[in-house]
Chains A and B, each alone.
Chain A
Amino acid sequence: DTAVSQTPKYLVTQMGNDKSIKCEQNLGHDTMYWYKQDSKKFLKIMFSYNNKELIINETVPNRFSPKSPDKAHLNLHINSLELGDSAVYFCASSHRTSGRRDTQYFGPGTRLTVL
């Protein structure tokens, strides 16, 4: 019955590899997000999708490419992984009702370690 789920929970890989993280929400929300939490626990948005439409965030390298096959899924693909990509990545979702933005629900996170 998990509302927002992510796989895998842990990911350890070598520098230069390509990896993907998957996210699914069963809340019927129309907006999904990816966040990065660094070693200092600072949480920062990377991307947001509304009805499968990507909203670009200017601080993210183009090695990161989100893909949304449908409204319930938002996957994150990372090319040529670097040491600085090591972090916890959180997926979130929300429903955008008219005139207001509702609570964001977060997944459990994926801890990525690049060696």
Chain B
Amino acid sequence: KQEVTQIPAALSVPEGENLVLNCSFTDSAIYNLQWFRQDPGKGLTSLLLIQSSQREQTSGRLNASLDKSSGRSTLYIAASQPGDSATYLCAVGGISNFGNEKLTFGTGTRLTIIP
């Protein structure tokens, strides 16, 4: 059974700093990994998608890496801004017991950028 863990659960950093969010998963048989952002009371916004054959993806100030063999992914945010404050969720794409595809989510990291 896939388990996804995100550390830390909460993080506060001053504006302008670079930061790293961590995600680990127990089953390396994945087909992709996604990082999402969730603002309070809102839905999820996809930030980056890494296919299992890839090692990293970049979008603007965001860079996500994937190491399948060690079951780890990181989300790097450069030059953080107050608007980056949100909960960041890692989701691993895999196969369920019934053979269908599904995303397994981590518990999230609540990020606060201090102006």
Interface residue stretch chosen among A64-72, A73-81, A98-106: A98-106
- Which listed residue (B43, B49, B87, B105) contacts A102, Cβ 8 A? B49
> Is there an interface contact between A107 and B100, defined as CB atoms closer than 8 Å?
no
B100 touches A55 (CB 8 A): yes
Pairs across A and B, CB under 8 Å, 15 listed: A40-B107, A41-B107, A41-B108, A42-B107, A43-B44, A56-B100, A57-B98, A57-B100, A101-B31, A102-B49, A103-B34, A103-B46, A104-B46, A106-B36, A106-B46
Our pick among A4, A45, A56, A109 for the contact of B103 (Cβ within 8 Å) is: A45
Measured between beta carbons, the chain A residues less than 8 angstroms from B87 are 41
Q: Which residue of B lies closest to A54 (CB)?
A: B100
Chain B contacts of A57 at CB under 8 A? 96, 98, 100, 102
Residues on the B chain within 8 Å of A44, using CB: 105
Contact indicator A100/B103 (Cβ below 8 Å)? no
A56 and B49 contact, CB distance less than 8 A? no
Interface: B12 (CB within 8 A): no
Which residue on chain A has the smallest CB distance to residue B46?
Answer: A103
- Minimum CB–CB distance from B70 to chain A (whole Å) comes to 22
Given contacts A44-B105, A57-B96, A101-B31, contact A106 B49 (CB under 8 A): no
Complex contacts, A40 vs chain B, CB 8 Å: 107
Nearest residue, chain A, Cβ from B49 = A103
Residues of chain A lying within 8 A (CB to CB) of residue B98: 55-58
Residue B22 at the A interface, CB < 8 A?
no
| 1/0 contact string of B52-92 vs chain A (CB within 8 Å) | 00000000000000000000000000000000000101010
Closest residue to A105 on the B side, CB-wise? B46
Q: Chain A's nearest CB lies how many Å from the CB of B47?
A: 10
Residues in chain B near residue A105, CB distance under 8 A: 46
**How far, in angstroms, from A18 to B24 measured CA to CA in the complex?**
39
Q: Which residues of B contact A108 (CB under 8 A)?
A: 42-43
